[in-house]
Amino acid sequence: MALLTVRNLHARVAGKDILKGIDLEVRPGEVHAIMGPNGSGKSTLASVLAGRDGYEVTQGEVLFDGKPLLGLSPEERATSGVFLAFQYPVEIPGVGNLHFLRTALNAQRRVRGLEELDAMDFLQLAKEKSKLVQLDAAFMNRSVNEGFSGGEKKRNEIFQMAVLEPRLAILDETDSGLDIDALRTVAGGVNALRSPERGMVLITHYQRLLDYIVPDKVHVMAAGRIIRSGGRELALELEEKGYSWLGLQDGKTAAPKGGEARR
């Protein structure tokens, strides 16, 4: 059975139609890449799946594990196993990174009827998972994302994913703002989390992420629709020929240069 089924999904933001009929099916163990130029609706799809306020679904349905997803609150979706790695991870001043994550994990465990982890057990778990993305201890006790560099924020997202162990991970432009070393680290973490039970949706503008995380399927989005789907070769072809190959306008075609951008 598919882990995620999206059928004819239409959504609008601030009265403007953004998604105009998305169909997508992700099976356990699969990694799907969704590519597309700016403004094609990629990030809107991620927000709608995670349940962000202000996004109105006007048509279509989404099933997660065979059950309707769209009626659930964001926290219910999270608890049922949907994880979104944010394009712009949010800063929460004064709230410790580990405290935040432990609160989240225990909130999910409570709903699932599992025992909460105490501080010691959690620390053990966090230490182990942090190795995946090479985060050190000092970093974990800082406030959530406060004063983190762009690369640290993205690594923190993957670290959270490693601890929360979702069944479906949606990575929204996780590669944006990363230099090549940081990209490798992040991709290494994501690859380590690939498993036969877990599905992943990578949202990206650039093919280069897919050099490190090899997808099973690639979809190209434009103007709120998936206009082409294929295997990995589709991404390579897109890289070579640019979005104009598909008749699409796009401002940025080359990967940005320079170090980890601070935001």
Partner 1 sequence: MSTDTLQELTRRPYEAGFVTEVESDTFPPGLSEDVIRQLSEKKGEPAFMLEWRLKAFRHWLTMKEPNWQAVKYNAIDYQAIRYYSAPKQKPKKGSLDEVDPEILRTYEKLGIPLHEQKLMQNVAVDAVFDSVSVATTFKDKLRKAGVIFCSFSEAVREHPELVKKYLGSVVPYSDNFFAVLNSAVFSDGSFVYVPKGVRCPMELSTYFRINAAETGQFERTLIVADEGATVSYLEGCTAPQRDTNQLHAAVVELVALDGANIKYSTVQNWYPGDAEGRGGIYNFVTKRGIAHRGSKISWTQVETGSAITWKYPSVILKGDDSVGEFYSVALTNNLQQADTGTKMVHIGKNTRSTIVSKGISAGRGQNTYRGLVKVLKSAENARNYTQCDSLLLGDKCGAHTVPYIEVKNASAQVEHEASTSKIGEDQLFYCRQRGISQEDAVSMIVNGFCRQVFKELPMEFAVEAQKLLGVSLEGSVG
Residue 164 within binding range of partner 1, rule CB under 8 A: yes
What is the rounded distance in angstroms from the CA atom of residue 15 to the CA atom of residue 31?
A: 32
- The least CB distance from residue 170 to partner 1, in Å, is 10
Q: Quick one: which of 107, 123, 125, 236 contacts partner 1 (CB under 8 A)?
A: 107
Residue 75 within binding range of partner 1, rule CB under 8 A: yes
Residue 125 within binding range of partner 1, rule CB under 8 A: no
Residue 160 within binding range of partner 1, rule CB under 8 A: yes
Q: Is the Cβ of residue 56 or residue 216 nearer to partner 1 in the bound state?
A: 56
- The least CB distance from residue 160 to partner 1, in Å, is 7
Using CB under 8 A as the binding rule, the residues of this chain from 175 to 234 that contact partner 1 are none
Amino acid at the residue 160: Q
Residue 27 within binding range of partner 1, rule CB under 8 A: no
- The least CB distance from residue 50 to partner 1, in Å, is 5
Residue 1 within binding range of partner 1, rule CB under 8 A: no
> What binding mask, one character per residue, do residues 35-74 give for partner 1 by CB under 8 A, x or -?
---------------xxxxx------------------xx
Q: Is the four-CA dihedral 211, 83, 21, 18 of positive or negative sign? A: negative
Q: Which residues of 226-240 are buried (b: 16+ CB within 10 A; e: fewer)?
A: beeeeeeebbebbbe
Q: Quick one: which of 40, 108, 156, 204 contacts partner 1 (CB under 8 A)?
A: 108
Q: Quick one: which of 39, 100, 208, 236 contacts partner 1 (CB under 8 A)?
A: 100
Q: Which residues bind partner 1 (CB under 8 A)?
A: 50-54, 73-75, 77-79, 83-84, 86, 88-95, 100-101, 103-105, 107-108, 111, 143, 160, 164
